[in-house]
Structure 1
């Protein structure tokens, strides 16, 4: 109210535009969640009978009241916002009409350019521009406004088609679920800024896309930048609309941590004061929570978009995080959950589960990149952890999962089961899912008005996002609908002030954080059930570079070449010696070499499939609707998005690529006796490890993958042992004398 504003009015010939901004803007500053460096626009398509005016409110309104028109003038007496309130008025005289051939189109917008102050991993600060600048050279906002207002009828029809497609899918689950989905998308998408960097020529770089999310759920927060647990909650919506959106959202988090040392777990965010993305904030006690979130989302992005760029680029970082989870997931003592209501609970069953799923996701990512040694290691760890977790987490009567190990009175919403269902990781077996579903049914029979709370020790606080995650994990539609009903009842409750919140009292509906709490981005979780039917994509990784194709980092490549050469030379020498001995003793020892060779090359049975080969078979009642109808309203979400203009512009450019099949059963020559994979809406057995390691070409920056070197060393050791056995058989037995 104390800030002086200034304004200007102008016309492009097609559109009349009012532009308003602070006279002294403060770059990257927000006060009470309001940017101090943005510009507001009010525009209307030019047409006969259009008039405008900028003046005091009483002046503009009085003139329009008396004459039905404005005088096309503007005051230049800039002043404080609350002093002699200025009105930016536009009016249209349509005359005596019964209908009009063209609509009266007007638009309101708010632009912050640059959008984000981004600190790069090397400490440099970049001003990131809005993504729309890639389509409008010279940052010509007027042209963008012209395009929007002139194309509005077409844009509106496409938006309606998208809404109808989403509601059609959601209505197949329930009417209440469709209502919740209707509320969610705008809250999540509204929290995002899609940006690009600028080149040395000052032009926007369309190939360098980053997306930033503001934590808008807390009334006292200045807005955390890319809060990991909020992105995790919003993941179903992003996957359902366009999985390629997830990559640019994770990239700033991944880039900021790639070269960091001393912190083995993932960060919570990359800044505390939006829009300043200043980088990670150091040590915290949500290591299992945020690390599990990041690995799950990293694999989900690759699995559903088919883009293997991130898992390839950040593979070493993902391994570091996975090793942390291997050592810390099962007993997450002194760890905090992102749910503030249950932070004091140690050994949280739900938190441990998230970490184990993260390890299993790492196994899948390793296999997708051909790192089969790593995949087998992480598969083994995940299987061991899952077995131990089940023994600790189940109640003594094995009827439900405990909220806290050993506390028979404890329970909690096991919303982290959702990641297991979404990714088909098979960490939790069907028997546990059935028991937990039955337990929820018992709880719902006496639940408060607005549904179940997060846990028995959560003070009666419900969380809409986690209730919808939980609804997507149960095996009984009545239980599913009961969980949905609690959230729907709170959404339709009009006896509290403020927006529909993330967290609220399950009995009274009171908003957690006070009446000024904002609706959060985590409402993307409302799409949890719809995301279960998003089809898998074939994961495409960037080309694996050979040393001859790289000109930089010669010292490192030279050392790699020396190591690889030494290993290969050692193998060659051992092979030559072994062949010499073999020719001498071939009859006697042929069976030894035969067994050794068979052990080295034997191929596993077709049942040895990794998670990214699973066949996605949607539950019959959740199957995506047919798109064969000719009705204009009966179009798929993907078709609607394509119509709106969704394309692959957010996907990193690729040239020659290594394609890793996502589904062996669909490939030509697949084994005919391969068993079908259960749906995610049915029980999932733990998958068996994938095939043994095969020779792998150098990857990332021309380096030899550790698994390839390990494989060569293993072959050397195998040959050495065979030779020792052969030598022992040729030696005379020792003689002992008394």
Structure 2
């Protein structure tokens, strides 16, 4: 633990010095997957209770007693429902890719509170060992105290959580236990609904499975499951916890049962910093139903469906896990500094995007194929599963750092489009000439093709581009001397006819997409969409790249020549003097041509530099305080697309756009997890929150290797 404490101090100082002036719109605390996604939407951790990304309260509470006086470090004044407890003074909050650091001071004592979500392991940018495949549903809450004034102080710590993370509605009946998956040498408490209906609700909140709060039994720890008033009141007044747990069950909101922990740390001085940690975990039991077949979280496969083994491992590896969070945070800071100058504002928004993106996914075990699959939720904009045009904007982070994760996300879509669902129990034939839009409504995949929101060119181009991006990333790793990636192209063997079918669809519908929806469907139809046409052209180039890599050179040349011909037609049809139109048929219109990103990112170079120069220069004329609007129809923009544009423009334009996005995140009055849809003149959020599309902030990193 001593090494972990030292690393925590170093990491806190490193990140805090860079981001201390940055005020995230919402701060990630416990972010593991779309269901377990808890944030602080306030300047100070003690201003309000933490909330779920969707806005509901998640009753996490923290108290500290210093020389007999009780203070709050997490949770509002109302946490005792009538009695008021003062707060310590928060002096800093710093967000890293995997960890969030709070610093508090009071009465000569310093308190560090660190949330470390173990949803992504450290990776090497060149190697991309995707250990994130072991996505365990664990967040470590580390608490560290030391004396700052040189005096000895008697310090006690407290934490509790309600059942709110485990219910859809606080009226639901909950039960609790100390015996379920008990872990020797630890106090392990769990809570969940009485009526465990796996996968039978489609809300943004989960109400099956169990939340675990687990701590080491180190001799000075006490735990209890009782009402919030009993637990918090006992600690606040210096009394011992009740001798026995309350008897279950009761409603979540009925005297609010909490899992409570307290420690008496004794006298703490300046030379004996003292630390404790809590393992916060959630066992979903079942995660996804894919065409009639239930799939368990991948960690359950690793730990033989044994939650106790997972929790034992979490405790045994607490130091390693803390190191992993710290190393990843430091690794990322160094990585950004190597490629982005100046790095500070870009680093701040990119680190904020990391957990939001990875935490929007769920890794599962496909026991039919005996391999990992992954699923992504279209958070806050419909709740769809593996929406292709949500995966696409998120792809820069996934391609760059988690390319195997992206491949696992695409596999369920490829299997559906290739009519492979019969093996899972529910055969729904896919008979469209273009790629699917999504698989169903989270957490159920059962969508018939005629119930899709049809975006033919959009999703077809997206799929081909992302598959090519994965292949290019694998080729890069081989080039720099790392072992060949398993299945870098061989996994595509059953899908070549499907990919060529998609390529033929693009050829037959270019250079003019006609009256089709694109991913920006919230603006309504945009027929003859010039940016959508770019998507189709780059998609053809991506298919040509894949075929060439597989040795199918003749057919690769065919698609490549078609793409080049379409570029010439596009430049003529979309030209509007000093820029290119939003629609071929509408003069004096404009739009962000973000689909150019992968023309450069894949090294296709289908579009000449003159196209980039004209577009980027024109965007500068349209710049507002918080960025460039999406197009001429409205004042709002999309964060992901704005950062894609920044990444294909020159250095000064990149800085200007990056700074505008930074200022939006830092100054927006709407305290929601990093939104990707906001007004460029006011910084107010138009809609969307916590969406994994924010991984598009990493677009610039596609050009760093």
Q: For residue 330 of structure 1, what is the aligned residue in structure 2?
A: 511
Q: Report deviation, 1:527.
A: 0.7
Residues 370-427 of structure 1: CA distance to partner in whole angstroms, max 9, x if unpaired? 22221121112111111111111222x3x32221114331111110000111101111
The 1-side partners of 2:430 and 2:294 are apart by 26
Verify: 1:56 aligned to 2:224, yes or no. no
The 1-side partners of 2:351 and 2:672 are apart by 18
* Superposed counterparts of 1:118-197, under 5 Å: 118-119=290-291, 125-137=292-304, 139-171=305-337, 172-173=340-341, 174-197=343-366
Does 305-314 or 329-338 show the bigger shift? 305-314
The 2-side partners of 1:102 and 1:420 are apart by 53
* Superposed counterparts of 1:227-626, under 5 Å: 227-259=387-419, 260=429, 262-271=431-440, 273-282=441-450, 284-306=453-475, 307-395=488-576, 397=577, 399-443=578-622, 447-457=623-633, 459-474=634-649, 476-513=650-687, 517-534=688-705
Q: For residue 173 of structure 2, what is the aligned residue in structure 1?
A: 4
Residues 257-302 of structure 1: CA distance to partner in whole angstroms, max 9, x if unpaired? 113553101111000x211112453354410111100110111112
Change (3 A) 1:12 1:72: farther
Which has more radius of gyration? 1
Q: Helix, strand or coil: the match of 1:93? A: strand
Contact 2:547 2:555 in 1 (8 A): yes
Aligned-CA RMSD value? 1.9
Q: Helix, strand or coil: the match of 2:558? A: helix
Q: Helix, strand or coil: the match of 1:335? A: coil
Q: For residue 282 of structure 2, what is the aligned residue in structure 1?
A: 110
Contact 2:183 2:311 in 1 (8 A): no
TM-score (norm 2): 0.69
Contact 1:55 1:88 in 2 (8 A): yes
Q: For residue 537 of structure 1, what is the aligned residue in structure 2?
A: none
Residues 571-600 of structure 1: CA distance to partner in whole angstroms, max 9, x if unpaired? xxxxxxxxxxxxxxxxxxxxxxxxxxxxxx
Change (3 A) 1:494 1:371: closer
The 1-side partners of 2:693 and 2:229 are apart by 42
Q: Report deviation, 1:434.
A: 2.0
Q: Report deviation, 1:484.
A: 1.3
The 2-side partners of 1:531 and 1:479 are apart by 17
Q: Helix, strand or coil: the match of 1:110? A: strand
Q: For residue 726 of structure 1, what is the aligned residue in structure 2?
A: none
Contact 1:367 1:375 in 2 (8 A): yes
Q: Report deviation, 1:368.
A: 1.6
Aligned residues: 508
| Structure holding more strand per residue | 2
Contact 2:674 2:694 in 1 (8 A): no
Q: For residue 39 of structure 1, what is the aligned residue in structure 2?
A: 210
The 1-side partners of 2:433 and 2:262 are apart by 60
The 2-side partners of 1:232 and 1:430 are apart by 24
* Superposed counterparts of 1:71-90, under 5 Å: 71=242, 73-90=244-261
TM-score (norm 1): 0.66
The 2-side partners of 1:159 and 1:308 are apart by 32
Contact 2:173 2:249 in 1 (8 A): yes
Change (3 A) 1:130 1:72: farther
Change (3 A) 1:89 1:318: same
Residues 318-369 of structure 1: CA distance to partner in whole angstroms, max 9, x if unpaired? 1111111111131111101110344332111100000011111111111122
Q: Report deviation, 1:103.
A: 3.3
Q: For residue 618 of structure 1, what is the aligned residue in structure 2?
A: none
Q: Report deviation, 1:32.
A: 4.1
Contact 2:352 2:674 in 1 (8 A): no
- Unaligned stretches of 5+ in structure 1? 120-124, 200-204, 535-738
The 2-side partners of 1:372 and 1:287 are apart by 26
Q: Helix, strand or coil: the match of 2:223? A: strand
Residues 651-704 of structure 1: CA distance to partner in whole angstroms, max 9, x if unpaired? xxxxxxxxxxxxxxxxxxxxxxxxxxxxxxxxxxxxxxxxxxxxxxxxxxxxxx
* Superposed counterparts of 1:625-640, under 5 Å: none
Change (3 A) 1:214 1:72: farther
The 2-side partners of 1:180 and 1:280 are apart by 38
The 2-side partners of 1:133 and 1:176 are apart by 39
The 1-side partners of 2:495 and 2:447 are apart by 17
Q: For residue 15 of structure 1, what is the aligned residue in structure 2?
A: 186
Q: Helix, strand or coil: the match of 1:83? A: coil
| Structure holding more helix per residue | 1
The 2-side partners of 1:136 and 1:91 are apart by 29
Contact 1:14 1:146 in 2 (8 A): no
Contact 1:52 1:73 in 2 (8 A): no
Contact 1:471 1:479 in 2 (8 A): yes
The 2-side partners of 1:500 and 1:209 are apart by 29
The 2-side partners of 1:529 and 1:491 are apart by 18
Q: Report deviation, 1:227.
A: 0.8
Q: Report deviation, 1:100.
A: 5.2
Q: Helix, strand or coil: the match of 1:43? A: strand
